[in-house]
């Protein structure tokens, strides 16, 4: 038995492949049924011991942390490779806050976001940890976007992203009819150790650079999102019947006669949540949070489910939405459209006038929405006290105000972030830029979605006499701020007059909120909001609950958007299974699902930011030479970043443009300091800049200082 266990470990060590138990058995030359069963049992034991990780349904890889423990005399870690635009590379350790610097000579053949094994060098005083990549455990990037160049019969590919430090060679047979100058999607097919350049294959010819549709497709492709749904997935979605049987309705709580409505952006097509209101005989209020029952239609292992898992989330670019589910589901079958019977998974709360939840119920329902509102309509009702369903809206909003107040009193952090919206012409060219403004209508929906998410997480995760050992669940977790960034921030804000205490998590949250309140109408307010967010850890999905620091919730999940987020679909399935007394799922398996969803969420965020950056560059393309008022939004070794006040377009003032003095960067004070003349540029300062260059392909804007 011991010899068989060792063979299984050896078979999986040093390979990037994820294998099922039959493939593992074949690698160690076991092909009979009895032998395969032995292999399967050992694999299950190794998964429980966290020696192996189940990466997807029925496939396994070696746990990098296990390898680290079995390697003596050297310090190895595993993590994702992140390559900055500057070319600096870091490995982000799994479960650790400190990253490891990787010099270019020590990157081996690793590409951005690959899962790698790193040999960590002995620590040096006052230096970041540094290491060398010794093994690529998992290739991350499935596709790369850029321009084909053909010279003297040799084709090579220059990636759009400056994270790639190598051009990619394309053999003629793998060009797939791409022409010189085409923007294409390339898959890396080989990179032999010692070779200077990887070999690639063109998998999609997008078209002419600069065309809006080409550029939006490029952004999707470079973040690993597919450009279309496979035909078989579309067919499966269209094959789902749209009739709800009487038997199905009979097994659900019927809310069709209760006043119900949706509130969404004016251009939304996928309505995945609705609110219902009922005044109870005892004077209390029954608020229903009704969420599209996607899990009723999308079954585990189906083609739709596999595609949704790979995508992980819907993506919202400036001019389009790329849904996680085919439109037959997202915009039709599951969308809570008015005056149609719809199946939901609901959280229903009986509340008193002080918004205290006195009774709650979670289960399957059927609804029929009375109205489809947009946020602007509801805000008019809140402001005027008049309009459709005014009594219901005003009552729910009054309760939401109390919930919001209680949340901040409980040390939730009141971050305010600015989002931009573009007005586009018929060719999708931006003609104006404006800020999205959150109103009470937004806050009303937000508070009840937060309440539903919190209560669902508590139902499964909270220990009670009847729930002594909570079952495996998917949580949305948010760690406390990063210590090194927090210390720098604390020292900086004290210098500009803000008392900032960090002794306990509650004290820290209180310090943030007090500072925001004091700075609200001052010039530095936006700067403090942005710097505060940069101190924070990133919220992720995990089966290991540590609570949500920013919201001050010890239990939190995502339950309210299964049309557009795969974790919510997992939560619905788990919740349903556990309510039917089914056993706990495997934690290691679901932790891998959580990691994948967190990665896809980050890629979606990056795609959304990139599309905004492209439209900002396009907006400034015909404004070269014009002067704008701006705010210093960042200080880096390449220069000063400035954000135009009206349009929020951000560009770089290269360091070489500061010619009136010798300047150095004071990182602790977020300041570019003039050594001799005392001209300083600090984060948040107001300056005037001239637009001097716009590169649409790189989505970059260059400015220069205009002195008064």
Same domain, 244 and 123: no
CA 6 to chain centre: 38
229 vs 303: CA distance, rounded Å:
11
Q: Is the pLDDT of residue 597 over 70?
A: yes
* 433 and 421 Cβ atoms separated by less than 8 Å: yes
Q: Is the pLDDT of residue 242 over 90?
A: no
Summarised one tens digit per residue, pLDDT across range 480-531 is: 887 777 888 888 888 888 888 887 888 888 889 999 888 888 878 888 888 8
What confidence score (pLDDT) does residue 87 get? 65
Summarised one tens digit per residue, pLDDT across range 296-336 is: 999 999 999 999 999 999 999 999 999 999 999 999 999 99
- CATH number of residue 170's parent domain: 2.40.50.700
What confidence score (pLDDT) does residue 65 get? 60
Q: Is the pLDDT of residue 352 over 80?
A: yes
| Whole-number percent of the chain with pLDDT over 90 | 50
What confidence score (pLDDT) does residue 86 get? 61
| pLDDT (mean) for 255-267 | 94
- CATH number of residue 656's parent domain: 2.40.50.140
- Nearest-CA neighbor of 645 among 625, 627, 622, 618? 627
In order of 93, 439, 565, the CA distances from 58 in angstroms are 26, 46, 23
Q: Is the pLDDT of residue 15 over 50?
A: yes
Query: What confidence tier does 154 reach under pLDDT thresholds 50, 70, 90?
Result: confident
Look at 583 and 195; give whichever has higher pLDDT. Answer: 583
What confidence score (pLDDT) does residue 349 get? 98
Same domain, 339 and 423: yes
| 362 SS3 class | strand
**Residue 566 falls within a domain, yes or no?**
yes
- CATH number of residue 59's parent domain: 1.10.10.10
Query: What confidence tier does 104 reach under pLDDT thresholds 50, 70, 90?
Result: confident
| pLDDT (mean) for 128-155 | 83
What confidence score (pLDDT) does residue 316 get? 94
**Residue 413 falls within a domain, yes or no?**
yes
* 264 and 336 Cβ atoms separated by less than 8 Å: no
Same domain, 131 and 152: no
* 52 and 65 Cβ atoms separated by less than 8 Å: no
Summarised one tens digit per residue, pLDDT across range 193-216 is: 667 788 889 999 999 998 999 999
Same domain, 39 and 183: no
Number of separate domains in the chain? 5
The DSSP annotation for 534-577 comes to HHSPPPEEESS---BTTTTBSS----S-TTTBHHHHHHHHHHHH
In order of 141, 152, 412, 416, 671, the CA distances from 229 in angstroms are 19, 38, 40, 36, 48
Q: Is the pLDDT of residue 607 over 90?
A: yes
Same domain, 310 and 423: yes
Look at 118 and 360; give whichever has higher pLDDT. Answer: 360
Domain end position, chosen among 209, 241, 265: 209
Phi-psi region of 702 (alpha: psi -120 to 50; beta: other; left: phi over 0): beta
Same domain, 628 and 598: no
Longest CA span, the chain: 84
**Residue 582 falls within a domain, yes or no?**
yes
| 35 SS3 class | helix
Domain end position, chosen among 604, 632, 660: 604
Query: Which contiguous run of DSSP H or E holds residue 45?
Result: helix 33-48
Query: What confidence tier does 13 reach under pLDDT thresholds 50, 70, 90?
Result: low
30 vs 39: CA distance, rounded Å:
9
Same domain, 406 and 338: yes
* 262 and 372 Cβ atoms separated by less than 8 Å: yes
Q: Is the pLDDT of residue 68 over 60?
A: no
What is the tally of helices (H) and strands (E) in the chain? 18, 33
Same domain, 186 and 121: no
**Residue 495 falls within a domain, yes or no?**
no
Same domain, 127 and 14: no
pTM: 0.83
In order of 11, 233, 298, 310, 684, the CA distances from 239 in angstroms are 42, 10, 12, 21, 55
Domain end position, chosen among 604, 639, 673: 604
Strands (E), 33-182: 52-56, 59-62, 76-83, 89-93, 99-102, 115-120, 131-138, 144-151, 154-159, 168-170
* 141 and 224 Cβ atoms separated by less than 8 Å: yes
**Residue 488 falls within a domain, yes or no?**
no
Which range of residues forms the domain containing residue 86?
Answer: 74-138
């Amino acid at each position: 038995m011991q010899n068989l266990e060792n063979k299984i470990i050896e078979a999986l060590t040093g390979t990037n492949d994820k294998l099922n138990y039959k493939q593992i058995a074949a690698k160690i030359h076991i092909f009979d049924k009895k032998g395969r069963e032995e292999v399967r049992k050992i694999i299950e034991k190794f998964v429980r011991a966290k020696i192996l990780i189940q990466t997807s349904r029925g496939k396994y890889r070696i746990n990098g942390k296990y390898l680290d423990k079995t390697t003596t005399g050297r310090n190895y870690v595993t993590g994702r490779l992140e390559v900055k635009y500057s070319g600096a590379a870091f490995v982000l350790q799994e479960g650790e806050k400190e990253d490891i610097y990787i010099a270019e000579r020590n990157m081996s053949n690793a590409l951005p976001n690959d899962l790698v094994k790193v040999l960590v060098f002995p620590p040096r005083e006052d230096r970041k940890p540094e290491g060398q990549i010794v093994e690529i455990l998992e290739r991350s990037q499935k596709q790369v976007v850029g321009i084909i160049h053909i010279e003297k019969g040799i084709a090579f590919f220059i990636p759009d992203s400056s994270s790639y430090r190598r051009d990619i060679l394309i053999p003629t047979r793998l060009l797939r009819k791409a022409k010189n100058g085409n923007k294409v999607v390339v898959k890396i097919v080989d990179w032999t150790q010692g070779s200077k350049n990887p070999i690639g294959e063109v998998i999609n010819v997008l078209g002419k650079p600069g065309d809006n549709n080409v550029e939006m497709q490029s952004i999707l492709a470079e973040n690993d999102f597919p450009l279309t749904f496979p035909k078989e997935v579309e067919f499966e979605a269209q094959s789902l019947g749209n009739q709800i049987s009487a038997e199905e309705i009979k097994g659900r709580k019927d809310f069709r006669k209760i006043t119900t409505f949706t509130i969404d952006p004016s251009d939304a097509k996928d309505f995945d949540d609705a609110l219902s209101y009922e005044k109870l005989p005892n004077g209390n209020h029954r608020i229903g949070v009704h969420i599209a029952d996607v899990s009723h239609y999308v079954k585990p292992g189906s083609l739709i489910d596999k595609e949704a898992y790979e995508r992980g989330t819907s993506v919202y670019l400036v001019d389009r939405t790329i849904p996680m589910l085919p439109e037959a589901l997202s915009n039709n079958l599951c969308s809570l459209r008015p005056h149609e019977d719809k199946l939901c998974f609901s959280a229903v709360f009986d509340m008193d006038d002080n918004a205290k939840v006195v009774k709650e119920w979670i289960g399957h329902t059927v609804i029929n929405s009375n109205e489809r509102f947009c946020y602007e309509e509801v805000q008019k009702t809140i402001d005027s006290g008049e309009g459709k369903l005014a009594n219901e809206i005003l009552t729910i909003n009054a309760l939401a105000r109390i919930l919001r107040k209680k949340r901040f009193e409980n040390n939730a952090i009141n971050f305010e972030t600015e989002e931009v919206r573009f007005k586009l012409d018929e060719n999708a060219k931006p003609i104006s830029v404006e800020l999205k403004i959150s109103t009470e209508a937004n806050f009303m929906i937000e508070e009840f979605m937060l309440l539903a998410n919190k209560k669902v997480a508590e139902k499964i995760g909270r220990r009670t006499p009847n729930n002594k050992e909570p079952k495996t669940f998917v949580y949305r977790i948010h760690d406390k701020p990063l210590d090194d960034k927090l210390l720098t921030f604390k020292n900086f804000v004290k210098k500009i007059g803000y008392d900032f205490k960090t002794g306990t998590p509650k004290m820290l949250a209180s310090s943030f909120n007090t500072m925001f309140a004091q700075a609200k109408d001052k010039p530095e307010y936006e700067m403090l909001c942005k710097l505060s967010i940069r101190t924070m850890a990133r919220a992720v999905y995990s089966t290991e609950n540590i609570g949500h620091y920013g919201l001050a919730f010890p239990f939190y999940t995502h339950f309210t958007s299964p049309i557009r987020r795969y974790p919510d679909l997992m939560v619905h399935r788990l919740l349903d299974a556990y309510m039917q007394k089914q056993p706990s799922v495997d934690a290691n398996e679901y932790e891998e699902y959580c990691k994948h969803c967190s990665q896809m969420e980050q890629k979606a965020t990056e795609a959304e930011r990139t599309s905004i950056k492209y439209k900002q560059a396009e907006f400034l393309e015909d404004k070269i030479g014009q002067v704008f008022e701006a705010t210093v939004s960042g200080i880096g070794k390449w220069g000063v970043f400035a954000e135009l006040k009206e349009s929020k377009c951000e560009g770089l003032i290269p360091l070489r443009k500061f010619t009136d003095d010798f300047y150095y960067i004071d990182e602790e004070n977020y300041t570019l300091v003039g050594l001799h003349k005392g001209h300083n540029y600090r984060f948040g300062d107001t300056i005037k800049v001239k637009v001097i260059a716009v590169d649409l392909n790189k989505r970059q804007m260059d400015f220069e200082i205009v002195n008064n």
